Every structure is written in structure tokens, then in C-alpha cells.
Structure 1
């Protein structure tokens, strides 16, 4: 499942979304069951996701259908774990008037543009009918335009994973409270070159979030556009710090060179698990991998540290995101779809043993125990430091992006690449980012 660290939306097919709008418009009117439908009739829900069936979803379907005999699940997925491509398929299905019921969405960046097209059913009335309050049930607040268009599935808390062997070799302790400057010092201390090969202390991936790391760790206004959706957030000191730390890490030669990451199309999991990098900022979805996988075993122990701070006195913030379970606006089985979405985001995510749930009713330690026990080598996952991070990180306000977020990120990444690859100076980079993004915002007002 994807998460806050999902790829930039710059590749989103805007034309496909516009085509979808023609088909989806007015989709929220189909609340009633088709005439003649019996309460005893078996309903089949089409569940669209990007995950492969053998990634635990086959078990999920059996569990759900065993307790809900009148609802069957038709699993629809390319199975390639590419969330952005899966969403493009959803857009095409909507444009073609294909039946859909439940759609898994990889975060608010993908949710908001489609809300503007009436793709998803508001769930407020369904929760009121059930007698539950969203804020009492879930940790991740997904309210958009004062409505809830989805329920959070897996919750991703952003943290730092560190190779314990490399940490000890450098004579360092597991951090419990640190700044970005201290993070860079750790990266330098763990960088090592032998026989012409460098093991870097840190790895930054290509996604837009890795270019705005310090900004992401604020309590509010964590996006490239401020929360009021009227002003570019580029001149925020935390964004400047984000760019500075990327430049500094390249100067220190303590992080895998950005040009190398791009040209070789490197992936963060093997870079860490193969010990080509000692440390990685990532999301808690990585827990299923750090104990090793069938293809990439882990031959070392991973310890966990909190997300670094901008200033020492700042609170310990753990940026969060979530996969989102939505109901398609033109679904013919919305009540049944809601039943499935609620079950998936509560009961299933506490029993599946792969990811952290957003549901407040889950026992966090039991969930962590189950996740660790399901890894290839549980002894290589340090439970103590993990629970410390999860129990002590403050949850910030989740960023609700503008509906034209792909265009914002495209501008941001283009200028970031000029900074990192073409030696454009920092002041010029920030000036260009700010002016271009603000013009885009003003044009959309």
C-alpha cells in the first residue's frame, strides 16, 4: 500500500479526469437500491485497488465474506503495486461508465482532485446513521470542504529507520529527540568508503516530499500551498531549511548523490536492505520489510528514531498520511459498500498484521507485535525504539492539497532539479518556485 511518500502526482492524466467528470457528474444521487432488490439478495462489490491479491487481500476477502454472507467482493487490481497507474485506470473506468463500488485511494493528493469531480460519496450521513463520530473513530482527519469522502485505512507515521550495526560502528546512540542538523551529522558519521565503494549514511528518494522534509514536519501549513489555498508556502523558513539540508548532504557526500538516484532509477528499499545506505526517512509501511523479505533478506537489526525537528525546542511531530477507502459516487450498492469500508478500516486492519491502522480502537502494541512476528526475521526489528517513536510523536494537521496539486508539484520539482542538477542557486530557486506557484494559485482563484 502507498502512503504519504507516494510518488508525485505530476504524471496524473488531467484530460482523463476531465473526461471522467462528464460521466460522474450527478453521481451522488444514486443512493437507493435498484427497484426489486431483496434484502436477502447477494450483492457483489467491485473493490478497486493497486495491491496484489496475494498480499493478504485474498485472506481479507475470505474473512469479510465469512461474516457478511450477503456481500461478495470482486477484487479489481492490476496487481503491480503502482498506486498512480491504478488511479488512472479508475479514471478510465469512470469515463467508460464501468461499475465500481469501493475505491482505495493513496492519500489526499489523489483524493481532492476527484472530489472536485463528484467521484466519491460523502460518508457523513452514513456515519450519523450508524451512530458514530469520525473524530472518535480515526486518528487521521480527512475532512475536505467540511465533509468526509473516505475513511482512513492504513496509517503511515513518518519516522527514521537506521542500521544498528552502522550506528554502533560510528559510536552513536539511537536518537530520541533530534534536529535536521543532527540528522546530517549522523549521516556523515555513518558514511564509509572502502575499496572504491561508498556506503552512504543516508538515502533521499526522488519523491517531492523528500525535497520538503522540514516543511512536512510542521504542525500546520505543511504543503507547498498554505492551508488557506490562497498563498504559496515556498517562503516558509522550513521549506528553505528543507532545500538547504538536501544541498548540504550532497556537499558532505553523506547521501546517495541525487544524480545517481535519478539516472540509475534507484529504489529506497533495496538501497537500505542491501546496506548501501545506513539510514532512511520513510513511512511506517516499511515495517513489513525491515525484518527482511523473501527476495531481500535483512542481515542486520533495524532501530527507529523520530522524525527530526527544525528547532530543538519544537514538538516531536510525526507527519502522517493514510490510504483512503472511498465509495464511488455512482455505486449501486452504497450501503453495502459502507459496511465493507467500515469493516476494512477497523476490524481487518487490526488483524492483518502488516500495517498500522488509523482506527483508535486498535491496541497499538498488539498490532506492532503481529506485524513484527510476520516478518522474515522478527529479531531484526527493534520493538522498543519503534514503540517509543509511535507513542511519543504528535500528530499534525494533515495537509489537504489544492485540486490542481499535480501542477504545483511539477513546478516545484522542475526548480528543485535545477537546484540539484544544474547548479541553480538557492535564492533563485526559491524565487522561481514562489512566483510560479503563486501565479498558478492566482489563476485558479
Structure 2
């Protein structure tokens, strides 16, 4: 409720700001196209755009990245505003909202998750960029691995590409006589985990749910779908009656209670177990996790690596013709609605999400224009910053990253946090034996529908 009140207040403040700026934006609109065509030319007037981001220098290499952009576009200067030096996305978002409400100059905005992105689009903080995309003559769906469309419009371009994958302890695989999978189903995953379980370690570790968080572990098979891969369908209805959600719950119960191949949920909570410790200490042979782990695959000073690491793709559903769909995180690069330099701001986000990703060298790009050599170089750069890069099967990592695909983005809904908590609560009743699978699904569908209707 407090969040809704805050958003409502923000809408009022933004509305006043946008009205005040509207005439200036309209005057600017007539000259945007000609300015864009002359971007970087000697006779274009120099402009300065402000770029607000949650990313710090250590994680994003802004100094080199922005310098490269300004060299290519000498008439566009970028004034970087780091909203959280520690890279805290919640802190950054709160500061960004205050900047917007106070009337500060906003040109380029970076959002770290689809919820933040969609909410600010609904608030009118973000400008549609369809006309710029059409003028440039490319398709976002074809040019990028992540499709950022919302309500039939584009408001952002995707930066980094962090798909989920499965980390594999190759030493454990060798002992069990198994190979690193290049294509597998959830049934295969379950079978691998069972065969890899010994007296010394479990086959796998699921780091969620936890107090309404880490919901990826509640939608495993559901997330392998191209469409309607989340708890709420595209039409706004609850999605807990999907057969793939049922499969996810059934698999979690079977792996913990029957196969004994997954770390018990009760142990995870009572002992406050974390996936990094479980992985690097070799307490689990398989780890489903996001590819932000790329920067740690070869081990760190805190978590040294004492075994060989392979990377397997996110499992597919049985009989699926569309391989590679997986949960994906990215940075949503947007143009502020109140910006007086929309053309320049768009020029920056298009460059940053393409050539800029290669220059930055910190993340795998969402852009499909990276050739094999550049891609391998980026992976080398990332792994070289780890302690033991030679222990990582680079070929399997590249294969997984190049073939992963993002499911269709479904805008977050009001009451989503409530739904997450309900999923958490009902799952605990299931895993603790307080109710069966049918009862769990019925309760989830009923309670989620009530939440959606009330919002």
C-alpha cells in the first residue's frame, strides 16, 4: 500500500513537470531528425546529456566506455550520474525517482529489471523510441536477444545479457560417468542430479524461494516456455494452472523427498545456506543460476576454485521445439520523456547497447551483432579477471551464452510482490507436507486471482 501511495504521488509530481516541459519538447521535436543525421559532424551544436545509472565504475568501466562514445560522437558529451557507488539497485531507483520529482535534467536512464522499467513507463517517465528505431531501419527482435517491447511500443534497448544456465562440477560428472550436457530436458536434469548425489554432496542446490524472493526457483519448467513463462499470463490472469508450473512443483518435491538429490529446503533456511558456498565448497554438483556468475566462474580470493567447471544450457521441456528459452536479466537503456535532447540520448543508448558493449568488456552483450571473435574476446576478458580461468570449460560457456534466448517480456502487475509471497507460503506448506500438490495449485490460482482482481 505504501508503495502504491508513493507511486501515485510521483505521478502527480511528474505530471506537473511534464506539462511544464511539453512546449519545449514540442519545439525540439521538429529538429531532432536533422540533428540525428548529423550526429558527430563538425557543424552540429554540442549538447550534453545526463546519464543516470545504478552501475558503478568497477562493474561497468564507464570511463573507457564513455570516452569511446565521445570520440565517435564529439558533439555529444555524457555527464555520468552514478546513483549508488555500491551498485545497490534499490538505492539507485529511489534516488532516480527523487531526481525526476525535483525536476532535475534527465536524458538517459538505466533500469536493472523489468519491474522498474515497466513501472516508470507507466508513470510517463520514459519516452517511446519507435520512431528512432524505424528511422534506423532495424528490428529490436532481430538485433537483440532480449525483446523490450511493452504495450506494442519500445521504450528501451537491452544492454548486457545474463541468461540463466546450469553450472556443472566436471570432476563429479567424471566420477559418475556423465558428460556435460549440450541439450537436455528437465527430466534429464533430475536424472543427472540423482546420479550425482553421494554421501559427500547433493546433486543440486535450489536457492529459493526465500521470503518472497528468488522466485526463479519456483518457475523452472515454466520459464522454459517462449510465452506466458511467468506467474501471470500476458492477458493478466493467474498462470498457476499451467502444466509446466505443476511440473516444477512436482519435480522439487520428488528431488528432495524421493530422490534425495536436492539440498533440503528446511536446511537451506535453518542454516542460512548460500549458493556460492554450496557451489565452491562442492556441496552440490549442479547449480541453476544466472550468468552474472561469469565473473566468478574461475574462482575468487574469497571463493577459490578447486575443480573443473562446465556450463550446461537451461533445460527444455519435453517435446519442445524451441530450445534455449531461459530467465534473463539485462539493463534496460531508456530515454527520459522530459529530455530536451532525445535524439542525442537515443544515439547514446543505441551505441552503448551495440558497439559500446564490446568496448566496455564487462558483460556479454544482448546485441546479436557481436562476431565470434569479439564474443570470445569478451569471455576471455571476463574470465581473466578470475583466479583460475584455466579451470573453466570456455567452449561450453560460449555455446550456452550464444544459444540462450529470452522469453517474451510480460509487464509486471500491481500486487506482484503479494503474489510472490503467496507462492512462497504455499510452497512451504507443500514441501513441509502440510498440503498436497493439487491443493497447493488450487490455493495459488485462487489467491493470485483475488490479488489481481483487487488491484
Task: Report the TM range for the smaller structure's normalisation.
Answer: 0.7 to 0.9
Aligned pair 1:87/2:93, yes or no? yes
- Partner of 1:3 in structure 2? none
Superposition pairs for residues 356-395 of structure 1, below 5 Å?
356-375=364-383, 376=386, 377-393=388-404
Deviation at 1:394, TM superposition (A): 5.6
| 1:139-167 per-position Cα deviation (integer Å, ceiling 9, x unaligned) | 32111111101101112222211011111
**Per the alignment, do residues 298 and 146 of structure 1 end up closer, same or farther by CA in structure 2, a change over 3 Å counting?**
same
Checking the alignment, whether the CA contact within 8 Å between 2:311 and 2:397 is kept in structure 1 is: yes
- Partner of 2:3 in structure 1? 13
Total equivalences in the alignment: 426
- Partner of 2:254 in structure 1? 248
Deviation at 1:331, TM superposition (A): 2.8
Q: The residue matched to 1:75 in structure 2 has which SS?
A: strand
Aligned pair 1:355/2:363, yes or no? yes
Checking the alignment, whether the CA contact within 8 Å between 1:216 and 1:319 is kept in structure 2 is: yes
| 1:209-243 per-position Cα deviation (integer Å, ceiling 9, x unaligned) | 111110010121111111222x2110111001111
- Partner of 1:415 in structure 2? 426
Checking the alignment, whether the CA contact within 8 Å between 1:140 and 1:320 is kept in structure 2 is: no
- Partner of 1:4 in structure 2? none
CA RMSD, 1 decimal: 2.9
Deviation at 1:108, TM superposition (A): 1.9
Aligned pair 1:291/2:298, yes or no? yes
- Partner of 2:195 in structure 1? 189
- Using the size of structure 2 for normalisation, the TM-score is 0.84
- Return the alpha-carbon distance in structure 2 between the equivalents of residues 253 and 417 of structure 1: 17
- Return the alpha-carbon distance in structure 1 between the equivalents of residues 167 and 128 of structure 2: 37
- Partner of 1:279 in structure 2? 286
Q: The residue matched to 2:86 in structure 1 has which SS?
A: coil
Deviation at 1:404, TM superposition (A): 4.2
- Return the alpha-carbon distance in structure 1 between the equivalents of residues 193 and 220 of structure 2: 15
Question: Which residue among 334, 338, 342 is the counterpart of 2:342?
Answer: 334
Superposition pairs for residues 196-215 of structure 1, below 5 Å?
199-206=201-208, 207-215=214-222
Q: The residue matched to 2:266 in structure 1 has which SS?
A: helix
Deviation at 1:350, TM superposition (A): 2.1
- Return the alpha-carbon distance in structure 2 between the equivalents of residues 102 and 271 of structure 1: 39
Deviation at 1:72, TM superposition (A): 2.5
Question: Which residue among 311, 318, 324 is the counterpart of 2:318?
Answer: 311
Deviation at 1:318, TM superposition (A): 2.5
Checking the alignment, whether the CA contact within 8 Å between 1:291 and 1:378 is kept in structure 2 is: yes
- Partner of 1:74 in structure 2? 80
- Return the alpha-carbon distance in structure 2 between the equivalents of residues 96 and 221 of structure 1: 38
Q: Which ranges in structure 2 are unaligned for 5 or more consecutive residues?
A: 30-42, 209-213
- Partner of 1:52 in structure 2? 56
- Partner of 1:257 in structure 2? 264
Checking the alignment, whether the CA contact within 8 Å between 2:379 and 2:398 is kept in structure 1 is: no
| 1:91-142 per-position Cα deviation (integer Å, ceiling 9, x unaligned) | 3433344433322212323222222211211111222344444334323211
- Return the alpha-carbon distance in structure 1 between the equivalents of residues 229 and 331 of structure 2: 19
- Using the size of structure 1 for normalisation, the TM-score is 0.86
**Per the alignment, do residues 105 and 76 of structure 1 end up closer, same or farther by CA in structure 2, a change over 3 Å counting?**
same
- Return the alpha-carbon distance in structure 2 between the equivalents of residues 360 and 104 of structure 1: 20
Deviation at 1:244, TM superposition (A): 1.4
More deviation, 110-119/238-247: 110-119
Structure number with larger C-alpha Rg: 2
Q: The residue matched to 2:293 in structure 1 has which SS?
A: helix
- Return the alpha-carbon distance in structure 1 between the equivalents of residues 66 and 342 of structure 2: 18
Question: Which residue among 341, 353, 356 is the counterpart of 1:345?
Answer: 353
Deviation at 1:168, TM superposition (A): 1.0
- Return the alpha-carbon distance in structure 2 between the equivalents of residues 393 and 76 of structure 1: 30
Q: The residue matched to 1:193 in structure 2 has which SS?
A: coil
Question: Which residue among 40, 64, 77 is the counterpart of 2:69?
Answer: 64
Deviation at 1:313, TM superposition (A): 5.3
- Return the alpha-carbon distance in structure 1 between the equivalents of residues 124 and 85 of structure 2: 26
- Partner of 2:445 in structure 1? 434
- Return the alpha-carbon distance in structure 2 between the equivalents of residues 237 and 224 of structure 1: 12
**Per the alignment, do residues 267 and 16 of structure 1 end up closer, same or farther by CA in structure 2, a change over 3 Å counting?**
farther
- Return the alpha-carbon distance in structure 2 between the equivalents of residues 310 and 83 of structure 1: 33
Q: The residue matched to 2:173 in structure 1 has which SS?
A: helix
